[in-house]
Amino acid sequence: MCTGDVEKPKKKRKHRKGRESQDSIDSLSEEQSDLFNGAQFSTDCSEFYDVDFYRRYFKRKKQIADEALEHRKLWRKQQVKLRIHVEKLIAHNAGPDWFQDLSNLQMKLIDSIPETIEEDRQKSSVRGTQVLLYKFGIYPQLCSKLLKLCMVESEADPIKFLFLVHREVVILETDDYEREFFQAKQAGKRISPFSLNERLLLSGVFHVHFETFLKKLDDILPPGYKSPKILLGKKPTKPKKKMPSCPYLQPQPINEKSWIEERAEGDLIKKIMRDMKFREELTRREKFKKDMDLKERERKFQEETDELIQRAHSEEMKGMLNPQPPSKDSLVKKGRPKETK
């Protein structure tokens, strides 16, 4: 009994120690499985894996990936800014100082100047032309008196009208723009010698005159280079090579086409010839059929006419052999007296 009482608690202690060690191993395997995306490792070799080391390792790799992503985002933003800056430089340095790139709406407004002036002239007002210049970008607006004078002198010609408006605009804003230009030059800033209103008006004149300008260039400049045309199906002639006098040294003829191309070409020629023969035979048969139908109709017509002639001839002969006495009506018509009963 004593031995039994002593042995029981010993067994319980051993069981507790085994359970604690098993729990520690299970917790370690769970940490490892979480670290390695659910991969399971045997408990026998768990003592060879340092969980903290791998945790630091993968944390560092994630940090490097995040930094690379941030650097990539910054690089893309920098590229966008650089492209915008280059486009601005190109747009700023494109063309002469008086040129201003026009939008589609501004070009449509320039094209509609004659109609607008004509409408205002009929209405005896300048409202439509003022609105057109305001939408075009001319600010401040000209007074009605100056604008009406420009409309009358231009005679609805867009080039004359724009030049007249340009003259009035220059008179109005020369002092202010010269002051602004002088200040910008002192500050070292880049500025055009033409104001925005001047650039818009001169660019509008250029837009109207552009088609005439191109036609004049076509008349003045020499014609452009035209590439030589090669007709399809015809090979360019090659210069003849000097052949050796000895026939044994002459190169053998080489067929440029493969046997597949030759066979396909031969089949195509045969097919074309077969179709031509079939069409000729078909036309010949149709012609023969028409001739036979015509002959058959002629034969039937001849038979009918012969039958009619024969019938008429037989009736005539029958009347001659068996003459009929004249009727009473015929005698009355001839003036003979009627027979009394």
Residue 222's pLDDT is 82
Selected residue with higher pLDDT from 327 and 333: 327
CA distance 195 to 180: 10
Q: How many domains are contained in the chain?
A: 2
Q: Which residues are within 8 A (CB) of 335 and not within 5 positions of it... i.e. 6 or more apart?
A: none
Q: Which of 18-27, 76-85, 180-189, 230-239 has the highest mean pLDDT?
A: 76-85
Give the residue numbers spanning the domain of 73.
Answer: 52-94
Identify the domain boundary among 220, 239, 257.
Answer: 220
Q: Does 140 sit behind a cis peptide bond, omega within 30 degrees of 0 on the bond before it? A: yes
In this prediction, residues 124-147 reach a mean pLDDT of: 89
Q: Are residues 211 and 114 in the same domain?
A: yes
Q: Tell me which residue has tokens 């002469």.
A: 96
**Own/partner pairs, 36-39, CB within 8 angstroms, 24+ separation:** none
CB atoms within 10 A of CB 54: 14
Identify which has the larger pLDDT, 5 or 244: 244
- Over residues 95-106, the mean pLDDT reads 86
Q: pLDDT averaged over the chain?
A: 77
Q: Is residue 154 part of a domain?
A: yes
Section 139-154 average pLDDT: 88
| One domain for residues 108 and 210 | yes
**Residue 163: is its pLDDT beyond 70?**
yes
Is the model more confident about 293 or about 227? 293
Residue 109 lies in a domain: yes
- Ramachandran angles phi, psi of 243, nearest 5°: -90, 145
* 64 and 167 part of one domain: no
Residue 203 lies in a domain: yes
Predicted pLDDT at 281: 93
> Both 116 and 213 in a single domain?
yes
- Structural tokens at position 47: 């003592």
198 HSE (CA, 13 A, CB side): 14
Q: Which residue has the tokens 């094209």?
A: 111
Residue 170 to residues 93, 127, 144: CA-CA distances in angstroms? 24, 22, 17
Do 140 and 82 belong together in one domain? no
- Residue 318 banded pLDDT, cuts 50, 70, 90: low
pLDDT at 201: 93
pLDDT at 278: 93
Per residue in 23-57, pLDDT tens?
555 555 555 555 444 444 444 444 445 677 778 88
* End position of a domain, from candidates 191, 220, 249: 220
**Does residue 156 sit within a domain?**
yes
For the residues of 264-311, what is the DSSP string, one character each? HHHHHHHHHHHHHHHHHHHHHHHHHHHHHHHHHHHHHHHHHHHHHHHH
10 Å Cβ neighbour count for 281? Answer: 10
Residues 200 and 145 in one domain: yes
Is the residue at 184 inside a domain? Answer: yes
When pLDDT is averaged across residues 218-244 and rounded to a whole number, the result is: 72
**Predicted pLDDT at 49:** 56
In a domain, 83, yes or no: yes
| Domain boundary, last residue among 220, 250, 285 | 220
What is the DSSP track for 120-187?
HHHHT--HHHHHHHHHHT--SPPPHHHHHHHHHHHTT-HHHHHHHHHHHHHHHHHHHHHHHHHHHHHH
Q: Do 108 and 90 sit in the same domain of this protein?
A: no
Residue 86 sits in the same domain as residue 155: no
Q: Which residue has the higher pLDDT, 317 or 112?
A: 112
Residues 143 and 79 grouped into a single domain: no
Lowest mean pLDDT among 12-26, 192-206, 258-272, 281-295: 12-26
